[in-house]
Amino acid sequence: MIAGAWSLTACGTRHLDDARVTAFIDKADNAARKRFAPGICALRGKTFTAHQTFHAEGNRGEPAELTIDRKLFCSEAGKFSHLEQYVLERKSIEIKLADDLKSADVNAVYTEKLPYYEAPPTTASDYRDVQVLETIDHSRVGIEGGDIVFLSTDADITQTLVPKSDMPLPYD
Amino acid sequence: MRPLAGPAALLVIVVGGVLLKYCSHPEPRPDRNFMAAEMTAGDKDQTGTCYSVDVVLTANFALARGAVKSWTRLDDNRWTYKVEDVQSGPVGPVQAYLAVTLLREGNRVEPVAYETSDKEAPSVEEGVKALLQAPDHFHSTKVDRCRQAAGSH
């Protein structure tokens, strides 16, 4: 029985290819669309780090820089789950596999649309503008315990604000 | 095979429990005596605050939704408590944190370092003063020394 259990765990991914990485990124994008924090968090490796450079609309100074570890990232994913309106579109994806096929660099471009809350809202509709985030995302993925996971993510995000009357967002 | 199904399931549960106990790494945390010790005000005289470490931290951070709280052990008597969060800054999301290092001296715990993500971090004494506002506001339970003193008046 124990040998059987061991053989089951040993059946995980041992090397990466384009199809597996693409399927993994699709899964990650869908987890983001569902905004289910445990699902988002489970796709991040134990030593995952995220760095982002945020160019806010109207900011002519230095962009906001943020570097967080897995624990804080997962906590932020929990806040994300409170959003009732969120649209994520992937514009492009490019995968570069490492020579040993144990990791891959993924460059992707995304557009996200979500409410821009100027203050903590009382209801989910308490916002005037939709923020459109154009994200150039560089991620490294690898294998951990037989599963594909994100090892790190570096995102360059540009924010544009659009009045919500001009860009109605669907609830889901 | 059926008579073996029950014992086999029991074996799996027992082995799984043992593996979980010895293979998991629970978050480090000071012992109960450390948490129950009275925190001092972070001043030179080590004035008592009448509140335990546990009460001060709970009153301030128990309801901090979405914040990540962690302990780092420096040695048996010296621990750093850190609260981290991502907040909306004027030009985008920024990391905000507060870290206080606590040193056990006898039956008291002295704050010896206080750091924040603010550009102008307060002194240890100022930082502890800010931390004491929450337990004062909530009328939190004081340590025995202060309760006895209050009762004797």
- Mutate: best of B86, B87, B94, partner A, most A CBs <10 A: B86
pLDDT band at B12 (very low <50, low <70, confident <90, very high): low
Q: What are the chain B neighbours of A76 within 8 Å (beta carbons)?
A: 66, 86
Sign of CA dihedral B95, B49, B53, A79: negative
**The pLDDT of residue B23:** 53
Classify residue B37 by burial, with Cβ atoms within 10 Å: 0-12, 13-18, 19+. buried
What is the percent of chain A where pLDDT is above 70? 94
Decide: helix, strand or coil at residue B120: coil
CB B69 within 8 A of CB B20: no
pTM of the predicted model, to two decimals?
0.80
pLDDT at B17 over 90: no
Nearest alpha carbon to residue B51 among B145, B151, B153, B148: B145
Q: What are the chain B neighbours of A52 within 8 Å (beta carbons)?
A: 93
User: Looking at the complex, does the CB of residue B8 fall below 8 Å from at least one CB of chain A?
Assistant: yes
For A54-80, b where at least 16 C-beta lie within 10 A, e where not — what string?
Answer: bbbeeeeeebbebebebebbbbbbbeb
CA dist B71 and B82 (Å) reads: 6
Q: What are the chain B neighbours of A79 within 8 Å (beta carbons)?
A: 66
Question: What are the pLDDT digits (tens) for B45-79?
Answer: 999 999 999 999 999 999 887 899 999 999 999 99
**The pLDDT of residue A105:** 98
B31/chain A closest Cα distance in angstroms: 23
CA dist B109 and B35 (Å) reads: 9
User: What average pLDDT does range A144-164 have in this prediction?
Assistant: 97
Question: What are the pLDDT digits (tens) for B18-48?
Answer: 555 555 557 889 999 999 999 999 999 999 9
Beta bridge partners, A159, equal A133
CB A13 within 8 A of CB A97: no
pLDDT band at A14 (very low <50, low <70, confident <90, very high): confident
Of B84, B85, B89, the CB nearest to A64: B89
**Higher pLDDT residue, B109 or B9?**
B109
**The pLDDT of residue B153:** 45
| Sequence-ordered list of residues with C-beta below 8 angstroms from that of A106, at least 6 positions apart, any chain | A21, A25, A93, A94, A95, A96, A137, A138, A139, A140, A141
Closest residue in B to A66 (Cα–Cα): B94
